[in-house]
Amino acid sequence: MNGVGNDYIFIDNLNSKNNNISKKIIKKICDRHYGVGGDGVVIISASKTADAKMKIYNNDASTATLCGNATRCVAFYLAKKLIKDSISIESGEKILYCQIQNTEGGLVIVSVNMGKAKIIDTKILTFKGQKYKLYIVDIGNLHCVTFVKDFDFDVPKLCKVIQNLPCFGNGINVDLVSVKNNTLNIKVCERGSGFTLACGSGACASAFVASKEKLTDDKVVVSQAGGKLDIDVGENIIMRGACKYIFDGVFYENK
């Protein structure tokens, strides 16, 4: 399934207590040439506090604590399986509440309450003579948000410089944001997956900072390469967007 182009391979493990999967298999499945291909793998398992629990692996087999688009896809899947429109999902330390809203153009529209976000630090970075203010945002995972006029520069290089800053240890998700007419255009380089067509938590983190800095209203459209998400920055952040089922099948490890 994918959420506005952010594609994951989902494994239904609700009826098993063994959620182990090797790094080798994750990398093999995610390979777009020799495997299935995806931004990562999500294991759906039983939860004592929600309809299900999800564990997220990036395509380099590192783990992630949160993924907004993958959460919406899991909600879409569970809604069909459980025959209900309201779904709760345990992810990391959060319980995320999702709502299946309607179908537009063959796509299922799913909203998710992402909870609260907070800016935990800011830093100033000078890159090729230009100063960038970096906002480090905690929304269940960490994002580094910075605003740019446009994307007519070496975007991959700036993202690499930010991710390799010593203060970020094992790296960080980087969101480059251009604001125009209450719309955010963003490019996201995710820790462990690189540039993706969309990033739900990145969209929420970017909208949160833009709202706090009075650059946009509380309700904003976030446009990414894979499509658009509607973000409402209220007491809790609500993200709304499309999900699409692609296919299912069996992956043979040794064939």
Query: What is the DSSP track for 215-253?
Result: SS-SEEEEEETTEEEEEEESSSEEEEEEEE--------T
Q: What is the pLDDT of residue 104?
A: 62
Query: Shortest CA distance to 253 belongs to which of 19, 32, 28?
Result: 28
**Residue reference for tokens 């609700």:** 14
Q: In residues, how long is the chain?
A: 255
Q: How far apart are CA 102 and CA 80, in angstroms?
A: 13
Catalytic entry in 73, 98, 159, 199:
199
Exposure string over 37-63, b if 16+ CB within 10 A, otherwise e: ebbbbbbbbebeebbbbbbbbbbebbe
Position 211 pLDDT exceeds 70: yes
Average pLDDT taken over every residue of the chain = 95
Q: Which helix (H) or strand (E) holds 86?
A: strand 86-91
Lowest mean pLDDT among 6-20, 92-106, 229-243: 92-106
Q: How far apart are CA 223 and CA 188, in angstroms?
A: 11
Q: What is the pLDDT of residue 170?
A: 85
Residue 105: pLDDT band (50, 70, 90) is low
Phi first, then psi, for residue 162 (nearest 5°) are -65, -45
CATH topology of domain 2-109: Diaminopimelate Epimerase; Chain A, domain 1 (3.10.310)
**Can 30 be counted among the known catalytic residues?**
no
Q: Which amino acid is at 10?
A: F
**Cβ neighbours of residue 59 closer than 8 Å, sequence gap 6 or more:** 26, 27, 30, 38, 39, 40, 41, 192, 193
Catalytic entry in 67, 98, 144, 243:
67
**pLDDT tens by residue, 81-96:** 999 999 999 998 899 9
> Is 163:172 a contact under the CB 8 Å cutoff?
yes
Q: Which amino acid is at 190?
A: E
pTM of the model: 0.93
DSSP 3-state assignment of 62? coil
pLDDT, mean of residues 127-134: 95
Residue 106: pLDDT band (50, 70, 90) is low
Position 102 pLDDT exceeds 80: no
**pLDDT tens by residue, 147-204:** 999 999 999 999 999 999 999 988 999 999 999 999 999 999 999 999 999 999 999 9
pLDDT, mean of residues 45-65: 96
Q: How far apart are CA 201 and CA 114, in angstroms?
A: 8
Burial (Cβ within 10 Å: 0-12, 13-18, ≥19) of residue 97: buried
Q: What is the pLDDT of residue 214?
A: 96
**Can 204 be counted among the known catalytic residues?**
no
Position 220 pLDDT exceeds 90: yes
Residue 254: pLDDT band (50, 70, 90) is confident
CATH topology of domain 118-240: Diaminopimelate Epimerase; Chain A, domain 1 (3.10.310)
Q: For residue 33, give the DSSP letter.
A: T
Instruction: Enumerate the CATH 3.10.310.10 domain ranges in the chain, comma separated.
Output: 2-109, 118-240
Pseudo-torsion of CA 229, 234, 237, 242, nearest 10°?
-30
